[in-house]
Amino acid sequence: MVDVVLGERRPAAPGLIVLRRAARRPAAAASAGALILLVVAALAAPIVAHLLGSEPDAVDLLGRFAPPSAAHPLGTDELGRDMLLRLLYGGRVSLAVGVSAALAAAAIGTVVGLVAGYRGGRTDAVLMRMTDGVIALPLLPLLIVLAAVDPRKLGVPAAIADAEYFSLVRLVPVIAMVGWTTVARLVRASTLSLKTRDFVLAAIAQGAGSWRVMLRHILPNLTAPILVATTLSVGAVILLESVLSFLGLGIQPPQPSWGNMLTNAQELIGTAPALAIYPGLCIFVTVIACNLLGDVLQDAFDPRRGGRLR
Amino acid sequence: MTRYIALRLLQAIVVIAVMSFVIYGLIGLMPGDPIDVMVSSNPNLTPDDARRLKALYGLDRPIHERYGAWAAAALGGDLGYSRAFGQPVLSVIGPRLLNTLQIMGLAFALSLAIALPAGVLAARYPGSLADRWINLACFAGISLPTFWLALILMLIFAVMLNLLPAGGMATVGAPLAGWAWLADRLKHLILPVATLALVNIAGYTRYLRAAMIETLGEDYIRTARAKGVPERVVLWRHALRNALLPVVTIVALEMGVLFSGALVTETMFAYPGMGKLIYDAILGNDFNLALAGLLMATLVTLIANLAADLAYAWLDPRIAYG
- Interface A-B: count of C-beta contacts within 8 A: 138
For residue A82, tell me if it sits in a domain: no
- The class level of CATH for B95-315 reads mainly alpha
**A53 Cβ contact partners less than 8 Å away, ≥ 6 residues apart:** A71
Beta pairing partners, A76: A82
Distance from the Cα of B210 to chain A's closest Cα (Å) equals 10
> B83 near B290, Cβ under 8 Å?
no
**Hey, are the CB atoms on A140 and B260 less than 8 Å from each other?**
yes
3-state SS assignment for residue A7: coil
pLDDT value of position A30: 85
**Which residues form the domain of A234?**
2-31+89-306
Q: What is the average pLDDT score of chain A?
A: 81
> B289 near B89, Cβ under 8 Å?
yes
CB atoms near residue B185 (< 10 Å): 14
Residues of A within 8 A of B196 (CB-CB) are none
pLDDT confidence tier of residue A305, bands split at 50, 70 and 90 = low
Query: What ipTM was estimated for this complex?
Result: 0.83
pLDDT confidence tier of residue A115, bands split at 50, 70 and 90 = very high
pLDDT confidence tier of residue B41, bands split at 50, 70 and 90 = confident
Tell me, what CATH number does A99's domain have? 1.10.3720.10
3-state SS assignment for residue B88: strand
Give the pLDDT mean for A238-253: 86
Dist. CA B19–CA B15, nearest whole Å: 6
CB atoms near residue B72 (< 10 Å): 10
**CA distances for B289 relative to A10, A39, B101, B105, B295, angstroms:** 61, 42, 18, 24, 10
Using a pLDDT cut of 70, give the percent of chain B over it.
Answer: 96
User: Which residue type sits at B194?
Assistant: A
**A218 Cβ contact partners less than 8 Å away, ≥ 6 residues apart:** A114, A118, A191, A194, A195, A200
Residues of B within 8 A of A150 (CB-CB) are 29-32
Q: How far apart are the first and last CA of chain B?
A: 8
Domain count, chain A: 1
Residue range A261-280, pLDDT digits in tens: 888 777 777 777 778 888 89
> B127 near B121, Cβ under 8 Å?
no
**B86 Cβ contact partners less than 8 Å away, ≥ 6 residues apart:** none
For residue A203, tell me if it sits in a domain: yes
Dist. CA A286–CA A235, nearest whole Å: 7
**Hey, are the CB atoms on B152 and A239 less than 8 Å from each other?**
no
Q: For chain B, give every domain's residue range.
A: 2-88, 95-315
Residue B317 sits at the chain A interface (C-beta within 8 Å):
no
pLDDT: is A210 or A12 the higher one?
Answer: A210
Residues of A within 8 A of B212 (CB-CB) are none
Dist. CA A174–CA B145, nearest whole Å: 19
Residues of B within 8 A of A265 (CB-CB) are 151
In this structure, what DSSP letter does residue A76 have?
Answer: B
For residue A273, tell me if it sits in a domain: yes
Q: How far apart are the first and last CA of chain A?
A: 41
pLDDT value of position A125: 86
**Hey, are the CB atoms on A145 and B155 less than 8 Å from each other?**
no
| R_g over Cα of chain A | 23
For residue A14, tell me if it sits in a domain: yes
Which residue in chain B has the smallest CA separation from A287? B143
Beta pairing partners, A82: A76
Residues of A within 8 A of B104 (CB-CB) are none
pLDDT value of position B184: 80
Window 101-160 of B: residues touching A by CB (8 A cutoff) are 126-127, 132, 135-136, 139-140, 142-148, 151-152, 154-155, 159
Window 232-261 of B: residues touching A by CB (8 A cutoff) are 253, 255-257, 259-261
Residues of B within 8 A of A242 (CB-CB) are 145, 147-148
pLDDT value of position B194: 92
Distance from the Cα of A120 to chain B's closest Cα (Å) equals 18
**A6 Cβ contact partners less than 8 Å away, ≥ 6 residues apart:** none
Residue range A134-160, pLDDT digits in tens: 887 788 888 888 888 877 777 777 777
Task: Determine if the peptide bond prior to B317 is cis (ω within 30°).
Answer: no
Sequence-separated contacts (24+) of B13-16 with Cβ below 8 Å: B15/A133, B15/B298, B15/B302, B16/B295, B16/B298, B16/B299, B16/B302
Cα A308 off chain centre by? 27
> A217 near A199, Cβ under 8 Å?
yes
Task: Determine if the peptide bond prior to A151 is cis (ω within 30°).
Answer: no
Beta pairing partners, B88: B81
pLDDT confidence tier of residue A310, bands split at 50, 70 and 90 = very low
Dist. CA B259–CA A40, nearest whole Å: 36
pLDDT value of position A5: 52
For residue A247, tell me if it sits in a domain: yes
**CA distances for B93 relative to A288, A293, B70, B81, B299, angstroms:** 36, 42, 18, 11, 13
Q: What is the average pLDDT score of chain B?
A: 83
Give the pLDDT mean for B134-153: 90
